[in-house]
Structures are given as structure tokens and as C-alpha cells.
Amino acid sequence: MRIILCGFGVVAQSLVKLFISREEELYAKYGLKPRLLAVFDSKGSAVDQSGLKLDNLIQIKEKYGTVKNYSDKNNTMTGIEILKNIEADVLIETTPSNYKDAEPGMTHITTAMKKGMHVISVNKGPLALAFPSLVELATYNQVMFKFSGTVGGGTPILDYAKNSLNGEKITSFAGILNGTTNYILSNMALGLSFNDALKDAKNKGYVEADEALDLDGLDAAAKLVILANWIMGMKVTMPDIKCTGIRKVTIDDIKRAEKNNSVLKLIASCDKELVVSPKEISKENPLGVNGTLNSIAFTSEHSGTQTIIGKGAGGTETASSILRDLLDIRQEIAKN
């Protein structure tokens, strides 16, 4: 399977390491032989239509901080140029999420789809701003569009709601969709001030380069958009979400929740409206997980409420979700 990889940060490098460590198993068990034709990062690109040497790619990135030193040829091609000039089966889009105009991910995805490539995205920006039209574009061009790593990292939240609750009508859902804010609020419950809890989260590498994505609830709102569209069949985008972050949460708020035998969490919910905001959750509620965990409760017509809990982020966890999507695409291609 011929692959173009957009972005080469932690997630993409973790994916390439998975390809290396599971090479024999992927071929023996699933008939999957990933052939990476081109990779680019913010400083340059590496291109080889016969397939890049994966070990070399990782070594070069670790040594120089960019893939452009992989060879002397074609190392200035942009993502758009690569997508326009190289024939591949799948685009894997891992560039950072941008909630202002979703670029460059949006152009990467639409260019690939128009060329007949299947797309896997862990970049939430394009889905948050244009989910309905991207699904339409994929259908029109008869390509698969997969994005299970956009919500829950390695925890298969999207697959669970779509497949395990198949035949059920989900009426509402609510959950903790951002591990960073959950970590901060968990530490505030242990007595840290907001600033100290934020500093600790930054030191551990949990906070996005643009901290507003976490603290102002934008990351959780983007995931709520994806869930509402995919699971509830809505046609919504970011502006449809009522969003309040955690910057104004005080120790007094935390103490007030404690008196009510509750914990304060940033909850994303889809019921009569779509809301992200800090909310008191009873300590008995299975949703009220601590640390960087994510949790989501789906309420359905006949099965009542089911809660799924797992790691929200992490390079290897998110890479494993990309691999799941790739295997789904491989299976569909084999069927047809």
C-alpha cells in the first residue's frame, strides 16, 4: 500500500516505528505492506517512489530535527506539491490542528480526495470546521475517510459508538474529551492552584504549544463536533458549540464541588444542545476519572448508559488508531 505522510511529529514517528516493529505480523496476518513514498515536516521533505527506508527516516529526523536531510533530491517539495505529483493509495494527515482555517491540513485532505486517495486524519482542524462537506467530498470521489485517532487517541471511542452500539439509537452523550484539562483539574482537587497545576502539566508535556486549545476548551469542542456528526448524524461545525474553558475555575469552585460530594470536570455534552463547560460530577459517577484519562458515557434508547474510559492521547496510542484505520482501508480494498 503506497502512503504519503503529512507531518512528521511524535504521532507520525510513532506510526513509522509501529510499521518497523510489526512489519512481519502486518504482512502475515493482514496482507499489509506499507510503502512510504513521501514524508514532509515543517522544514522539508523526503521522497522515494520505490519506498523510503524507515529506519533511516527515523535516524535522520532524530539527528537533524527534519526529514529533508534524508537525501539530496526533492527535499524542498511542499505537502501540496507531493500530493499533486506523486501517485499513492492513502494520505495520512498528522499536521497540527488549526481551528482558524484548518490549513494546511484542509488542502492536503481535499487535494488527496480529488485525486482518488483514501484519507486518514488525526488532524482535528478540518473535521471541526468542515466535517459534513469533507464526508460529502469523500463519498463523491468514492474514497474512504477515516479519523478514529481524532477522539480518544488509542481508545476506540468512535468505533465503539458506531459499531458496538450498532442498531441502538444513541439519544445523548457526555464526557471528558481533553486529558490536559482533566489533569489540571485533578491536581487542583489535590490542592494545587490553577497556575501551579498548569505549570506541572506543561513540564510533563501535556499542554499543546498553543495552550488555548486545551484551556479554552477548543480541543474538546472539536472532538464534540466530530462525535455529534459521526454518531448523531448532525451537520454541525465549531461555531455551533457553546464553549467555556477552565481558565476561570478557582480553588473555591473545587471546594464547593467537594462539599456536594462531587468533582469539577470539563464536560463536553450533546443533548438538546452542544456544550463544553466546567461541570460538577458526582463522585459516584463513572465519568469522573482523574489524571489524563478520557471518559465518555453514551445514553441509548434501550441499553441505558454505557461508559468507556481510556487514555486520551499519546504518540503510540494515536499511532495505533491510525494503524487500525489503515487495516480497515486494506480490508475494504481487498473486498472490492
Active site residues: 223
Sequence length of the chain is 336
CB-based contact 161:227 (threshold 8 Å):
yes
Q: What are phi and psi of 109, to 5 degrees?
A: -65, -50
**CA pair distance 326, 319, nearest whole angstrom:** 11
Q: Is 254 exposed, middle or buried (0-12, 13-18, 19+ CB in 10 A)?
A: buried
Query: CB under 8 Å to 64, separation ≥6 — which residues?
Result: none
Selection from 2, 28, 22 nearest residue 316 by Cα: 22
Please say whether the beta carbons of 41 and 6 come within 8 A.
no
Question: What is the chain's Cα-based Rg?
Answer: 20
Beta-carbon contacts of residue 46 (< 8 Å; ≥ 6 apart): 38, 39, 40, 52, 57, 60, 67, 68, 70, 71, 74, 75
Cell of 12: 507520525
Q: How far, in Å, CA of 102 to CA of 90, rounded?
A: 20
Q: How many CA atoms lie within 13 A of 124 on its CB side?
A: 23
List, in sequence order, every residue forming a beta bridge with 173; answer none if it has no partner: 270, 298
